[in-house]
């Protein structure tokens, strides 16, 4: 159905019909939360075996006792595992505690306070960051909290709008960095193309200390067996003559236990040493007991991928259910469009312009909570008011189906309300 082609009479008739469905749904007193991309209980149970791992003598392969102080770089065998996964040298990896977001915050704070690559501190310089959007709300929250100006860059099917990125970076020395979720991007599910990776690696920047915060959160999180490949950014950067440009972040938050897992900082050896030069004043070392437990559970890249296949088997029916309902409710419609990700944790849905906030509001009235409309943009400002992030992972399939049916109803109501309001405004303007 093309809602924009309906007459006023047809819109009013549809509005009455939708209001009846609204009242029927309200009687169910639903309480479903689809706000965040949390692993379900079924997924969490996959890692319960970690509680019974045999630590042996609690020694790392380099002889260090993980129960004791030291080891700022993290457990050696875990660093080597991350190095194998990301195809880098283990000297480029620091194994850290559970939150990669914490590491991102610290890394940006280091740059603001101390500078990077021997440059001056960023603080007080009117620093700006490029923020591809729709994007990850917590990236934007970190940037805002630390007083960094954000510049929105549109996302495309192959990554950020690189023509715009290259133009901005080439002329403005205050642009010091850019956020990227390069694989199964949050929330669109986009995988950066090889060309996009190459362009980011080799582009000219007015700021000599420009850095890309490469949040590789979904590096092994495909929904299907033929996991998509992301070009090795460090090889691209080395080839382009910018070996220090990228900071990669990753964690096991959606592999084992969110917040109770391990994370990694991956970069050039020079950047790693600079990172550790600041880190040593914050901590004597990470939780190496948890790191060793993770290594013994994950074992190697092959076993990690086998574990992720189990996660995919749980997640896939949920994503497919959402897409099935959207296709059923909005096939050939101008009221909603959506991404069809092959991995990650989200589906990006775009309403008709000016309808997203109202749709989320209506869904909340009916007992279903979605991520706030606008949160996928810096400062929460989606100028078109159209993007909503769908997080299918946590609810059961029946709960998710109910939630998405409610969302579809909310989108339809918001769309009809908007079109009727536009018609009324147009009629009023004609009488003036």
Residue 429 has pLDDT above 60, yes or no: no
C-alpha closest to that of 229 among 172, 282, 191, 185:
191
Q: Tell me the pLDDT band of 156, cut-offs 50, 70 and 90.
A: very high
pLDDT band at residue 42 under the 50/70/90 scheme: very high
Which pLDDT score, from 0 to 100, does residue 138 have? 98
For 236-294, what is each residue's pLDDT tens digit?
999 999 999 999 999 999 999 998 999 999 999 999 999 999 999 999 999 999 999 99
Q: What is the mean pLDDT of residues 389-413?
A: 98
The CATH class of 3-30+305-422 is: alpha beta
pLDDT score, position 154: 98
Residues 58, 59, 60, 65: is their CA dihedral positive or negative? positive
Instruction: Place 423 in a pLDDT band, splitting at 50, 70 and 90.
Output: confident
User: Left, alpha or beta for 2 (phi > 0: left; psi -120 to 50: alpha)?
Assistant: beta
Parallel/antiparallel/unpaired status of strands 159-160 and 246-251:
unpaired
- Model confidence pLDDT, tens digit, residues 322-366: 999 999 999 999 999 999 999 999 999 999 999 999 999 999 999
What's the pLDDT score for residue 425? Answer: 65
Calpha distance 51→290 (Å, rounded): 10
Q: Which is more confident, 228 or 210?
A: 210
Average pLDDT over all residues of the chain: 97
Other beta carbons within 10 Å of 164: 16
Q: Helices in 99-205 by DSSP H: which ranges?
A: 100-114, 137-145, 162-171, 194-202
Residue 314 has pLDDT above 90, yes or no: yes
pLDDT at 428: 58
Q: List pLDDT tens digits, range 73-108.
A: 999 999 999 999 999 999 999 999 999 999 999 999
Residue 427 pLDDT class (50, 70, 90 cuts): low
pTM, two decimals, is 0.96
**pLDDT at residue 432 is higher than 80:** no
Give the model's pLDDT for residue 424.
72
Share of the chain above pLDDT 90, in %: 96
Fold of 59-299: 3.40.640
Segments making up each domain of the chain, as ranges:
3-30+305-422, 59-299
Q: Express each pLDDT in 168-226 by its tens digit.
A: 999 999 999 999 999 999 999 999 999 999 999 999 999 999 999 999 999 999 999 87
Predicted confidence at residue 224, as pLDDT, reads 94
pLDDT of residue 162: 99
pLDDT confidence of 124, banded at 50, 70, 90?
confident
How crowded is residue 12: how many other Cβ atoms within 10 Å of its Cβ? 14
> Token pair of 28, please?
């169910």
Q: Taking residues 49-69, what's their average pLDDT?
A: 95
pLDDT band at 370 (very low <50, low <70, confident <90, very high): very high
DSSP string, 344-365: SS-EEEEESTT-HHHHHHHHHH
Q: Is residue 227's pLDDT more than 70?
A: no
Burial of 238 (0-12, 13-18, 19+ CB in 10 A): middle
Strands 128-133 and 175-180: parallel
Which one, of 70, 46, 72, 79, lies nearest residue 292 by Cα? 79
Rounded mean pLDDT, 35-58: 96
């Amino acid at each position: 159905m093309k809602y924009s082609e309906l007459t006023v009479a047809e819109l009013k008739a549809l509005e009455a019909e939708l209001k009846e469905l609204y009242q029927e749904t309200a009687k169910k007193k639903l309480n479903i939360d689809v706000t965040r991309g949390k692993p379900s209980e079924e997924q969490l149970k996959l890692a319960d075996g970690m509680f019974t791992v045999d630590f042996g003598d609690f020694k790392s392969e380099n002889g260090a006792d993980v129960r004791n102080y030291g080891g700022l770089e993290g457990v050696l065998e875990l660093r080597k595992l991350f190095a194998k996964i990301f195809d880098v040298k283990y000297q480029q990896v620091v194994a850290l505690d559970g939150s990669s977001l914490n590491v991102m915050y610290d890394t940006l704070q280091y740059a603001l306070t101390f500078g990077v690559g021997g440059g001056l501190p960023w603080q007080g310089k009117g620093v700006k960051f490029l923020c591809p959007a729709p994007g990850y709300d917590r990236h934007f929250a970190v940037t805002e909290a630390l007083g960094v100006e954000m510049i929105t860059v549109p996302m495309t099917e192959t990554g950020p709008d690189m023509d715009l990125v290259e133009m901005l970076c080439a002329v403005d020395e205050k642009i010091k960095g850019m956020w990227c979720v390069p694989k199964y991007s949050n929330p669109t599910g986009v995988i950066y193309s090889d060309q996009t990776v190459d362009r980011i690696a080799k582009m000219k920047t007015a700021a000599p200390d420009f850095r890309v915060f490469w949040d590789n959160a979904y590096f092994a999180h495909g929904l299907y067996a033929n996991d998509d490949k992301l070009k090795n950014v460090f090889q691209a950067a080395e080839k382009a003559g910018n070996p220090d440009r990228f900071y990669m972040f990753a964690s096991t938050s959606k592999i084992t236990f969110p917040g109770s897992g391990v994370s990694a900082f991956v970069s050039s050896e020079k950047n790693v040493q600079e990172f550790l030069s600041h880190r040593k004043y914050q901590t004597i070392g990470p939780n190496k007991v948890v790191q060793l437990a993770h290594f013994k559970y994950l074992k190697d890249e092959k076993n990690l991928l086998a574990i992720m296949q189990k996660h995919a088997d749980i997640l896939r029916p949920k994503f497919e259910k959402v897409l099935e309902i959207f296709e059923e409710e909005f096939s050939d419609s101008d009221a909603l469009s959506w991404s069809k990700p092959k991995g990650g944790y989200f589906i990006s849905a775009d309403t008709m312009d000016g309808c997203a906030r109202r749709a989320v509001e209506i869904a909340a009235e009916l007992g279903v909570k979605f991520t706030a409309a606008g949160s996928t943009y810096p400062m929460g400002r989606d100028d078109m008011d159209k993007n909503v992030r769908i997080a299918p992972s946590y609810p059961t399939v029946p709960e998710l189906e109910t939630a998405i049916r409610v969302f579809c109803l909310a989108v339809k109501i918001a769309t009809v309300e908007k079109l009727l309001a536009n018609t009324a405004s147009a009629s009023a303007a004609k009488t003036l």
